[in-house]
């Protein structure tokens, strides 16, 4: 059964997602930074939040947990490896586990790097990946608690999913990511076109999330350590993927 998915912009650039499974009537909220906005949107749609799915412990992903649980009695689901930092957690999940939201079943993928206990939820039948702060449109999460090697391994697992997979990430960082990406791969035509499209969308104040994994594979420098263009920019022609990824991430950290 396919999920119905709603985007809720909150705080300065966060996206909270509602995922509704119509056969069972169950509704999950993914990474509720706050409580009020998702509760109000669910109410307006005639949905009742039955689950919270957390990807990682950061406050702008779990800030609404306890208030939503108090209001709805929902079940809180999150990473086993970081259970101690997920407020109100009821169900702990890790790599290879499945989690059923009614008839919609997610495979859980461990994706450490941004934090040590980050997970992603892949609902294959809905082509939906909730990946928190691991993969962004044209970017990836900062390495607060992990190494470049760990993050590259995590991103490699996501790269194994189908091109049609929609990336429901947790932030609208796309335009600044695009500005950086074109400096890394100045000869990538697909990227240059996409950056222009993104500028136009943002000028109209349109969201750029979700994008597809196929688009990311062709244009996101953090997924393209084999790109000759990128390797030339970094002075790392022929280097191994982890070294190229690490240098790309290091340059993004200081990019203005």
Task: Choose the stretch contacting Zn ion; rule: CB under 5 A; options: 37-45, 51-59, 184-192, 198-206.
Answer: 51-59
113 to 152: interface string for Zn ion, x by CB under 5 A: --------------------x-------------------
Shortest distance, position 131 Cβ to Zn ion, whole Å: 11
Q: Which helix (H) or strand (E) is 193 found in, with range?
A: helix 189-203
- How big is the site for Zn ion, counted in residues (CB under 5 A)? 2
Shortest distance, position 173 Cβ to Zn ion, whole Å: 11
Our answer to whether residue 133 is catalytic in this structure is yes
Whole-angstrom CA distances from 96 to 6, 31, 93, 157 are 26, 20, 9, 12
Q: Contact 140/155 with Cβ under 8 angstroms?
A: yes
Comparing C-alpha atoms, which of 138, 154, 155, 132 is closest to residue 14? Answer: 132
Contacts of 124 (CB under 8 A, 6+ apart): 105, 107
Q: Contact 174/198 with Cβ under 8 angstroms?
A: yes
Shortest distance, position 90 Cβ to Zn ion, whole Å: 21
Instruction: Select which of 20, 57, 58, 118 is catalytic.
Output: 58
Residue 31 is encoded by which pair of tokens?
A: 């990474």
> Is 69 a binder of Zn ion (CB under 5 A)?
no
Look-up of token digits 């407020």: 87
Shortest distance, position 133 Cβ to Zn ion, whole Å: 4
Instruction: Select which of 60, 82, 110, 127 is catalytic.
Output: 60
> Is 194 a binder of Zn ion (CB under 5 A)?
no
Please say whether the dihedral angle defined by the alpha carbons of residues 157, 161, 163 and 167, taken in this order, is positive or negative.
negative
Q: In this complex, which beta carbon is closest to Zn ion, that of residue 58 or of residue 252?
A: 58
Q: In this complex, which beta carbon is closest to Zn ion, that of residue 20 or of residue 57?
A: 57
Our answer to whether residue 114 is catalytic in this structure is yes
> Is 57 a binder of Zn ion (CB under 5 A)?
no
Our answer to whether residue 57 is catalytic in this structure is no
DSSP letter, residue 31: S
Catalytic residues: 56, 58, 60-61, 114, 133, 171
Q: By CB under 5 A, name the binding residues for Zn ion.
A: 58, 133
């Amino acid at each position: 059964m396919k999920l119905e998915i709603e985007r809720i912009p909150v705080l300065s650039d966060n996206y909270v997602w509602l995922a509704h499974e119509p056969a069972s009537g169950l509704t999950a909220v993914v990474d509720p930074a706050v409580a009020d906005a998702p509760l109000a949107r669910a109410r307006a749609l005639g949905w009742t939040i039955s689950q919270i799915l957390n990807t990682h412990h950061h406050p702008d992903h779990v800030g609404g947990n306890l208030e939503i649980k108090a209001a709805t009695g929902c079940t809180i689901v999150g990473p086993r490896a970081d259970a101690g930092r997920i407020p109100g957690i009821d169900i702990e999940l890790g790599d290879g586990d499945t989690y059923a939201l009614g008839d919609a079943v997610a495979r859980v993928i461990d994706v450490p790097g941004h934090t040590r206990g980050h997970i992603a939820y892949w609902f294959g039948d809905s082509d939906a990946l909730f990946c928190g702060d691991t993969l962004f449109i044209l970017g990836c999460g900062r390495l607060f608690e992990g190494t470049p090697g760990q993050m590259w391994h995590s991103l490699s697992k996501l790269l194994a999913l189908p091109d049609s997979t929609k990336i429901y990430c947790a932030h609208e960082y796309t335009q600044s990511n695009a500005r950086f990406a074109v400096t890394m791969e100045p000869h990538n035509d697909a990227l240059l076109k996409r950056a222009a499209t993104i500028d136009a969308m943002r000028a109209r104040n349109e969201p750029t999330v979700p994008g597809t994994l196929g688009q990311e594979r062709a244009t996101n420098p953090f997924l393209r350590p084999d790109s000759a263009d990128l390797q030339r920019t970094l002075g790392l022609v022929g280097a191994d993927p982890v070294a190229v990824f690490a240098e790309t991430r290091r340059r993004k950290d200081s990019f203005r």
